[in-house]
Chains A and B, each alone.
Chain A
Amino acid sequence: MPYISNTEKDRQEMLKAIGVSEFKDLLKEIPDEFIFKGRLGLGKGLSELEVSRQVSNLAKMNRSTSDCVSYLGAGSYDHYIPSIVPYLISRPEFQTAYTPYQAEVSQGTLQSIYEYQSLICNLTGMDICNASMYDGASAMAEAAILACRHTRKNTILISSTVNPGWIEVVRTFTKPSGYEIEIVEVSDGTFGKKDLEKKDLSDASCIMVQNPNFFGIIEDHDGIADIIHGNKGLLVTAIDPISIGLLKKPSESGSDIVVAEGQALGLPQAFGGPYLGIFAATKPFMRKIPGRVVGVTEDVDGKRGFVLTLQTREQHIRRDKATSNICSNQALCALAAGIYLNTMGEQGLKEVAENCYRRSHYLAAGITTVDGFELKYKMPFFKEFVVKTKYDVEKVMSVMLENGIFAGISLKRFGMASDEFLVAVTEKRSREEMDDYISVLKKFKDKF
């Protein structure tokens, strides 16, 4: 879109057309004492060259995952992004596309969303998927709201093994509606049937679980669905989409709603966003899910076409009775995920998952050979694990960073144990990089 400034003549014509003599007349409803007079303290203008120099100097102060070797996770991961993903999504037709309300001029955008939805249904084993949400955490919050409305029950059960940041978002979203959150405290690091069996679930609208969980552990969800369904509640499962290359689909454990952070599917970590909220459900919830849905249909000539569908759930039709106040989706991020999944294919995703698994186990085994470091849990994990140390975690992290390694995330940041940290290993980490991690730990032990 070109930027064309208004000339003084343009301005006069516009003012004349609306019947005022000067711009100030438009502000006369605002009492004079509230109007700022004088100049904003923005300093003198800078040339383009000066601005670009100043901003790139600021940017150089950051240390990103392209400057260091990253083992950071906790919901955002340094997976490889095939170059076809940024190349294709950079096309202006996609990058500047507006909401596809008008199907006749939006077939490309609509088709890309439809394909994304189909891929996610395939990946999760669910029947229906929306056009995407802002991120995994808000998708989980929307699932909680759906569960409360559907079951007409007000308590949301969440396993303590769910990402604590996501739990906070669910809390923020649901508090104004008067819903209550009950955290099911899990002591051994893994949520399962045992944690529900003795509970009174009569008020529970749902149980929300995460697999692999926040600590990277692969949870056994067999039997959970039967218990919660027996109490007329729903099973909401958060997944790591990459893990589906290796683990069971969430549909196999009887999930009613599946949510996920889709960043791992071809999106950069980018300081926390924009990300991709994946939301999929089984058919009985088709008219209750939040957000846009794209469907396929036929036009008058019998040709295939794509349209927004089931819009009566949405705010622009249903007003205050809408299933959600989301009026948008993350179309470009969903497109990236669609291209990523198409590029990798079933075999590629499986290889990525297997590599995450093997490499993370290689590093975990190596870390335990260093005196003063051990694995907190002796349980199956996917690509992330918790290390417990006798040293000061913050010191370990900063010494590692001096050596160009983002070694992990301190669990103290999440109000958890101060002597533990979370380490994530993706398919990008080479054996040399991991050997380097272990040797730096050994070499600088005296500094911790």
Chain B
Amino acid sequence: MEFPKDFLFTEDHEYAKVEGDIAVIGVSEYAQEQLGDITYVELPQAGAKFSKGDSLGVIEAVKAASDIYSPVSGEVVEVNSDLESNPELINSDCYGKGWIIKLRLSNKEELSGLMNSEDYKSHVE
């Protein structure tokens, strides 16, 4: 299982990859594996604002639906609309083409509360 170095993680298995003041949000490889075949992703609208821990959308797999909790606070600047027709991108490439949204960070200090890839690796194991 992959735990890419420059990603930050939550206990609920979301990740944030920070580029400047933008965070790319998605779910970890462990999460997609646990969920199984993903059939639908309910995405927020660009412009929506979320606080850390808010539910920003839902991932629907064959037999379960799980909320996606925002790892940080911010405003949605872009959503991955490819997921509307190809939700399985999360299964095949969760850290790449399977990203979910991009948030403009409103409180960078929150990043220090997230786990780095090594901590997350031990959290999962």
Task: Give me the interface of A with B, judged by CB distance under 8 Å.
Answer: 287, 312, 317-318, 321
Interface segment among B58-66, B102-110, B115-123: the answer is B58-66
Instruction: Known A-B contacts: A287-B40, A317-B63, A321-B58. Give 9 more (CB < 8 A).
Output: A287-B42, A287-B60, A312-B40, A312-B65, A317-B64, A317-B65, A318-B65, A321-B65, A321-B67
A230 to B65: give the CA distance in the assembly, Å: 32
The residues of A that contact B63 with a CB separation of less than 8 Å are: 317
Chain A CB count within 10 A is highest, among B42, B60, B63, for B60
Q: Name the B residues within 8 Å of A321 (CB-CB).
A: 58, 65, 67
Taking CB atoms, residues of chain B closer than 8 Å to A318 are 65
Interchain CA distance A312-B41 in the complex, whole Å = 12
Shortest beta-carbon distance, A311 to chain B, in Å? 8
**Chain A residue contacts of B60, Cβ below 8 A:** 287, 312
14 cross-chain CB contacts under 8 A: A287-B40, A287-B42, A287-B60, A312-B40, A312-B60, A312-B64, A312-B65, A317-B63, A317-B64, A317-B65, A318-B65, A321-B58, A321-B65, A321-B67
Alpha-carbon separation in the docked complex, A318 to B64 (Å): 7
Residue of A nearest to B60 (CB): A312
CA distance A321 to B67 in the complex (A): 9
Task: Tell me what chain B mostly uses at the interface: helix, strand, loop, or mixed.
Answer: strand
**Which residues of the other chain, A, contact B67 by a CB distance below 8 angstroms?**
321
Q: How far is the CB of A54 from chain B (nearest CB, A)?
A: 52
How far apart are B85's CB and chain A's nearest CB, in angstroms?
A: 14
Q: In the docked arrangement, what's the CA distance between A312 and B64, Å?
A: 6
Number of residues of chain B lying within 8 A (CB) of chain A: 8
Q: Which residue of A lies closest to B40 (CB)?
A: A287
Q: Given the complex of chains A and B, what is the CA–CA distance between A321 and B40 in angstroms? A: 16
CB B62 to nearest CB in A, in angstroms, measures 9
Chain A contact residues, majority secondary structure: helix
Within 6-58 of B, Cβ neighbours of A (below 8 Å) are at 40, 42, 58
- Give, as a whole number of angstroms, the nearest-CB distance from A149 to chain B: 12
Note all chain B residues with C-beta closer than 8 A to A287.
Answer: 40, 42, 60
Q: How far is the CA of A82 from the CA of B63 in the complex (A)?
A: 41
- Tell me which residues from 67 to 84 in chain B have a Cβ below 8 Å from any Cβ of chain A: 67
Report Cα–Cα, A287/B42, bound state, in Å. Answer: 9
CB distance from B113 to the nearest CB of A (A): 25
- The 5 A-B residue pairs with the shortest CB-CB distance, nearest first, are A312-B65, A312-B60, A318-B65, A317-B65, A317-B64
Residues of B within 8 Å of A317, CB to CB, are: 63-65
Residues of A within 8 A of B65 (CB): 312, 317-318, 321
CB distance from B98 to the nearest CB of A (A): 19
Q: Which residues of A contact B64 (CB under 8 A)?
A: 312, 317
Contacts of B40 in A (CB 8 A): 287, 312
A318 to B67, CA, bound (A): 10
Please indicate which of the listed interface residues A312, A317, A321 has the most CB atoms of chain B within 10 Å of its own CB. A312
A315 CB, nearest partner CB in chain B, Å: 12
CA distance A205 to B117 in the complex (A): 44
Q: How far is the CB of A319 from chain B (nearest CB, A)?
A: 9
- What is the distance, in angstroms, from B35's C-beta to the closest C-beta of chain A? 12
Q: Report the separation of the CA atoms of residues A189 and B58 in the bound assembly, to the nearest whole angstrom.
A: 44
A321→B64 CA distance, assembly (Å)? 12
A115 → chain B, closest Cβ, in Å?
A: 25
CA distance A312 to B38 in the complex (A): 12
| CB-CB nearest in chain A for B63 | A317
Q: Output the least CB separation between B44 and chain A (Å).
A: 11
Residues of B within 8 A of A312 (CB): 40, 60, 64-65
- Which residue of B has the minimal Cβ distance to A318? B65
Contacts of B58 in A (CB 8 A): 321
The CA-CA distance from A102 to B18 in the complex, in Å, is 46
**Looking across the interface, which residue of chain B has its beta carbon closest to that of A314?**
B65
Cα of A312 to Cα of B58 in the assembled complex, Å = 10
Whole-angstrom CA separation of A287 from B39 in the bound complex: 12
Using CB atoms, name the residue of chain A closest to B64.
A317
Nearest CB of A to B43, in Å: 12
Q: How far is the CB of B104 from chain A (nearest CB, A)?
A: 21
B25 to chain A, nearest CB (A): 20
Task: With both chains docked as a complex, state the minimum distance between the C-beta of A175 and any C-beta of chain B, in angstroms.
Answer: 25
In the complex, A317→B40 CA distance in Å?
15
A312 to B67, CA, bound (A): 12
B58 to A, closest residue via Cβ: A321
Q: Given the complex of chains A and B, what is the CA–CA distance between A317 and B39 in angstroms?
A: 15
Which residue of the partner chain A has the closest CB to B61? A312
Distance A318 CA – B60 CA, assembled complex (angstroms)? 10
In the assembly, what is the distance between CA of A127 and CA of B115, in Å? 45
How far apart are the CA atoms of A287 and B67 in the complex, in Å?
15
Name the distance in Å between A223's Cβ and chain B's nearest Cβ. Answer: 27
A321 to B65, CA, bound (A): 9
Inter-chain CA distance A106–B60, complex, in Å, is 25
CB-nearest residue of chain A relative to B48? A152
Determine the chain A residues whose CB is within 8 A of the CB of B42 once the complex forms: 287
In Å, the complex CA distance between A317 and B64 comes to 6
Chain B nearest CB from A309 CB (Å) reads 10
Bound Cα distance from A317 to B62, whole angstroms: 11
- Cα A317 to Cα B66 in complex, Å, equals 10
